[in-house]
Amino acid sequence: MSGIYIHIPFCQRRCAYCDFFSSTDSGQQEAYVTALCRELEMRKSYIVGSSPVRTIYLGGGTPSQLTLPQLERLFLYIYKVYDIAPDAEVTLEANPDDLTEAYVSGLKAMLPVNRISMGVQTFDDQRLRLLGRRHTARQAIEAVSRCRTHGFHNLSIDLIYGLPGQDLTAWEWELEQAVALRVPHLSAYHLTYEEGTPLWRMRQQGTVSEVDEEVSAAMYTLLVGKLTAAGYQHYEISNFCLPNMHSRHNSSYWQGIPYLGCGAAAHSYDGHSRQWNIASIPQYIQGISEGTPLIEREELDLHTRYNDYLVTTLRTRWGASFNHVNTEFGKELHTYLQRMARPHLQRGHLELQDDTLRLTEAGIFLSDGIISDLLWVEE
């Protein structure tokens, strides 16, 4: 099994908090889609042996900025070149205001998309404006309803917490709005101030300030409590789902499943190396058109693969298998993990069940430090 990630780097405008690779130049979209189709053909051998493809994910940027004909051309090419499983999860990231009646109807009629991941971020219109979002809270709620009306039931929404001026009462209200929508999947991320973004500059100027660390921890506790009480499974540090509705594509990242990434700045992983495309739309298009894609590669040695395995799997409810560590990385690292995990097991921050190491509820709050302690460090 394997997955395909397609990076669509176009946005109508940049959000105040975002430092992802993106562009507001929509004039390049047609040439970019042509380049994507060529790259898909050129790199079809990358995941041969991992067929069929079980997940396809269009992320961004804002994939819903592509027109329906552009998306149709792209998907026709994907299905022509690759062996796609009949039950493949096919996700499109979208902004709520892009999901008009005509657009959602066209998605259902013309494309194999069966999962929509919506960037809601907050249900507070004032905070949406602060973040530079294009939509309103009403548009987000209506978009969820519209998707369901047209037969899209596998829906996910993103929320951001720890926003300037946000307190526990405000965050609890946000969670109540989300729970009321009863979408099957929800991701919640703490706001980070990325250097160079408008929000970072606002903090530097004193226009906004970060939420206190204790309040941030209490917000996370509230997040977990509210969603689990509403029947959601906490299956990854920042992700929650109704039973059996986890993101299959993102879960494949956390479980080390190979995937091909196409598009400018897209990353790929084959189990032994990482590859990433150049983060420039013009240079990406030129390289593909000339038959010499601009790709960098990093070979992963044993210790790097061990570290990657722990960093990804310990974020999830599936945890890290001691048997897998012994089989894939050898007895030395198996013994090392046992030794490094012991004090965290004794403190109740890790638990061991059926050969599998997991973070406890208390350990999740300390996850960065715990996982760091388990990683191999050259002496």
At the topology level, CATH places domain 2-254 in: pyruvate-formate lyase- activating enzyme (3.80.30)
* pLDDT at position 379: 64
Average pLDDT, the chain: 94
Q: 103 versus 48: which is more confidently predicted?
A: 103
**Is residue 48 over pLDDT 70?**
no
| Spatial CB neighbours of 206, under 8 Å, sequence gap ≥ 6 | none
How is residue 202 written in tokens? Answer: 């606002």
Whether omega before 9 lies within 30 degrees of 0, making that bond cis, reads no
Helices 331-346 and 322-329 cross at an angle (nearest 10°) of: 150
pLDDT, one tens digit per residue, over 193-222 is 999 898 889 999 999 999 999 999 999 999
Q: CA dist 109 to 56, 98, 102, 105, 138, Å?
A: 18, 17, 10, 6, 25
Model confidence at 343: pLDDT above 70: yes
In whole angstroms, give the CA distance from residue 171 to residue 89.
Answer: 31
Which pLDDT tens digit goes with each residue over 235-286?
A: 999 999 999 999 999 999 998 889 999 999 999 999 889 999 999 999 999 9
CATH architecture type of domain 302-374: Orthogonal Bundle (1.10)
Please tell me the predicted confidence (pLDDT) of residue 39.
Answer: 97
Q: Where are the domains of the chain?
A: 2-254, 302-374
pLDDT tier, 378 (very low <50, low <70, confident <90, very high otherwise):
confident
Report how far residue 266's alpha carbon sits from residue 57's, in angstroms, rounded to the nearest whole number: 12
Nearest CA among 30, 26, 11, 118 for reference residue 74: 30
Asked if 336 and 322 touch (Cβ cutoff 8 Å), the reply is no
Position 256 scores a pLDDT of: 87
Query: Does residue 159 carry a pLDDT above 90?
Result: yes
End-to-end CA distance of the chain: 37
What's the pLDDT score for residue 111? Answer: 97
> DSSP string of 200-224?
HHHHHHTSS-PPPHHHHHHHHHHHH
Q: What is the pTM of this model?
A: 0.95
